[in-house]
Chains A and B, each alone.
Chain A
Amino acid sequence: MAEVISMADIEASAARIGIDLSSINLDSIQLPPGEDFGIQSGDDGDLYQDDPLEFEGGFGNIIVVDNLPVVPPEKFEKLEGVIRKIYSQIGTIREGGIWMPVSPDTQKTLGYCFIEYNTAQEAELAREKTNGYKLDKSHIFAVNVLDDFEKYMKVPEEWKASEIKPYMPGENLQQWLTDEKARDQFVIRAGSNTEVFWNDPRQLMPELVHQRQYWTESFVQWSPLGTYLATVHRQGAAVWGGASTFNRLMRFAHPQVRQIDFSPSEKYIITYSSHEPSNPRDSHRIVINIFDVRTGKLMRDFKGNVDEFATGGSGGVSGISWPVFRWGGGREDKYFARIGKNVIAVYETETFTLVDKKSMKVDNVVDFSWSPTDPILALFVPEQGGGNQPARVSLVQIPGKEELRQKNLFSVSDCKVYWQNNGEYLAVKVDRYTKTKKSTYTGFELFRIKERDIPIEVLELDNKNDKIIAFAWEPKGHRFAVIHGDGPRPDISFYSMRTSQNTGRVSKLMTLKSKQANALYWSPAGRYILLAGLKGFNGQLEFYNVDELETMATGEHFMATDIEWDPTGRYVATAVTSVHEMENGFHIWSFNGKLLYRISRDHFYQFLWRPRPPSLLTTEKEEEIAKNLKKYSKKYEAEDQDVSMQLNEQDRKKRKMLQDQWNEWVAKWKQWHEEERQFRIQLRDGEASDEEEEYEAKEVEVEEVLDVSEEIVADQD
């Protein structure tokens, strides 16, 4: 980038070389052609080098309507009126934007016309809506965008087999998993920079992997297994990855994309955008595309009004809730589903069509969620008919669509579903009205999915009037934590789905009284939990060991807004993002609550750990390792020691170097100082100078006359 020169600088340098700026006509100065005096124009920065701007060229906003009736001149105006009526509903037609050519011989129309809209979006919409429009039996419109004609004309007459490109082995996209020090990566976004780092807790600082300015236009996102980093641009989304650095692997064209979502095993990416309607009375238009991540092929697109995609069933006012499509069926990316009015539409990815070619009808359904591991849907239908029809939670198996289990619930105000991440348990938090209907209280229905007939257990808290502030399952475990209470210092309880004798009963492990916490973050490996007080609690942190039921450490990251465990459960990141004006940045903690390092960044937007694919070890193997941890950890402990010795050595050397350098300076200064001594004394008029001992303490008695008064003393004599 060129150095920015302000007017003030120009004035200053003009003054220095003695030029009166006001006497110069700046416009009259012309540089020799092709000469820029080394000053780069600010326009051609790196910003657009990768993605050249796509200008609106061509005739994208003009459509051609075919199969119009052929009419004589006297009916010309009537036909034009009809066409104008049809097409002005869809968008704004430019002035003089309808042109219907007339045959010079017969003076009759030729059966087609051109319509020019204000925008290409309107033209596209008109093409979609009226292609195949039946004016009457013999006149069915064929509508095309003018730009497409060129494309169709170019289609060669004869089919040629496309060239088969030689196979190029791709990069190892999983390279980062083979890091020798078994470190994890994370991405941060601050200011206009996006940076990927290794978390290096041994060095107590991050190590930069890759950095780019303007890498994304709104946000970045890792794919669920960590293979790709997705960026969002005006033209669409892109995914990045690679063995050593980040290269662009694929682009997905979707103008003005707003949201993206990966399928659980990264096969597909869903992109979403919403467009302002040209007519303010209309609702927003929504475009959703599903791409294959590796090939970039568009698998399916969905277009329509907001209302068609809005959740909340009956009301329909609640707008879009992202993700619109939710992926299910575990790691195979087999099914995805969305909710509509009185239906759940389940699609399968083999054909990208509805399962059984029809949506599943569920009257008044308001919410659904997939089991994280199995193709099982949990549906919630609220109470109907003023309480005559109870609310219902049901589990439905896909693709058979048979109901596995159902539970009716009475006087329900709201329901929320929490799956345990292995899909073993399901907790439904039910808010019920009290008898007076004036207030609500909360209970839990706990489903054991993997057991025969899916037994359901009801759990109520000791004080059932307590408000539930947060709920979280232990990942891969059988425990859950609840924050409950009304006051400013709520309680936290831990429950287990097993008791020591009986595996089929839920039992309470512990209640911690009056904690400053309102959010729960389990370690991804289970066992440890971070109790966090965000927002009103200013970022209080408590690291708790649930096996031993004891607090390991407490800490504070003032005003923390975000907390994320690394995928292995070894480290925790707490961050203050730019929602707060001050002290943006992140802290990295060890799992047991030791603050490892802090990084400050202005305008800090995002912190995301790079996810890891699930472990390939079997459960037995994992248990074996946990049992013989000492044996396995020896190697790493030795490494740790090596590194810390090395670091100490480096540190000592560096300090010594700095100290030597400093001493050198000081010696030089001292020398100068001595040399200049005489001059200094001279400057001080001969007064002996620098050191303290050269001045002597003199005691000076000062007599000051405070008052003089005259008194007449009587003469005694």
Chain B
Amino acid sequence: MMSVTMSTKVYLNFYNTNAAWVIKSLSKPHSYVQSAAYMKIKVAPNYDDIEIPEKKKLRMMDKVPPPVLHTASNLAVQQRSEAKYCRGPEPIHNKLNYGQYGVQALDGGYLSHKHMDAWRLYINSKLTNVMFAEWRIEPPWKPVTKKGTGKRMGKGKSSISHYVTPVKAGRILLEVGGEIEYKQVYKMLRHVAAQCPFDARIISAEILQKEEEQKNWIATNNLNPFSFRYCARNNFLGIKKDLSPYDLKWSGKY
């Protein structure tokens, strides 16, 4: 009796297993139709047009610039803290030289040697053999003065403490290129954009092209006959009282 009960239990357990299902499905007639189709494979991008330069890594920037006037003392001269170097849009260095990826400033500001050294060390550690990076800003040249702690106002201009590079809105700070896609570059460069003292973003050639097309489309399909430039120059609503000369120049955008 024990042997019979054991065999029934084993039979019941086998009936509920996957093996039983496989055997049952084999007995049922299947209808398979052989057919040929085109596989939807993602095509790898073509990198034949890209030329990788000899020097792939970011070079080191000097903390102190070489002296401009070669005098006997070679003393550095102080400068005024002028806002004209950071105000307005960047007219020249706002396009990508290598046509791939970069970091663009959206506001004006100053960059110091600390920023540049941190970015240089981080990016050089992340670059591979098929990638390269290049600076698009000058090394620090503008002197910044600072008074010592506890000193009172007056007694002349103080001495130079450090040097900075001024940056305007729209300027490209770095360029990265090679056999790489936007997603990989974004992971690398988002730290650079976050550490900037002003707003910055990561761009590619496609993004710039799309923005230009959108701008042109808006300019051609604009239905509003009252433009900022025309209304400001002709003092509509007496607005010249509340606008600055830079608004008249740059249409209130900078």
Q: Do A and B bind each other?
A: no
Residues in A lying within 8 Å of B, measured CB to CB: none
B residues within 8 Å of A by Cβ?
none
